[in-house]
Amino acid sequence: MEHTDLFMLIYIFALACFVGFELIAKVPPTLHTPLMSGSNAISGITIVGAIIATGIEALNLATILGIVAIIFATTNVVGGYLVTDRMLKMFKKK
């Protein structure tokens, strides 16, 4: 049972990688910095794992680590999206 589950996850990972390669190869060089900060914000998705890990117990070492994880991930998410928006706002046509 566990093996099929694990393979399912690996399938998803591999297919998502292909989707990523296809999509990102089309991003023009002009937008490479926003692409980086924007995709960087997406990697803050770890916040979901941090929330689940932090909330399920009373305060102990694990919860403290979890809180720090939430702070890190939220900084990543909020900072990433905001700074990307700030940059993309500047891209104007003539």
Which of positions 21-80 make contact with another protein (CB under 8 A)?
A: 21, 23-63, 65-80
CB 3 → another protein: shortest distance, Å?
9
Q: Is 91 in the site for another protein (CB under 8 A)?
A: yes
CB 4 → another protein: shortest distance, Å?
12
Q: Is 9 in the site for another protein (CB under 8 A)?
A: yes
Number of residues engaging another protein in binding (CB under 8 A): 83
CB 57 → another protein: shortest distance, Å?
7
Q: Is 6 in the site for another protein (CB under 8 A)?
A: yes
Type of residue found at 88: L
In this structure, the number of other CB atoms found within 10 A of the CB of residue 45 comes to 12
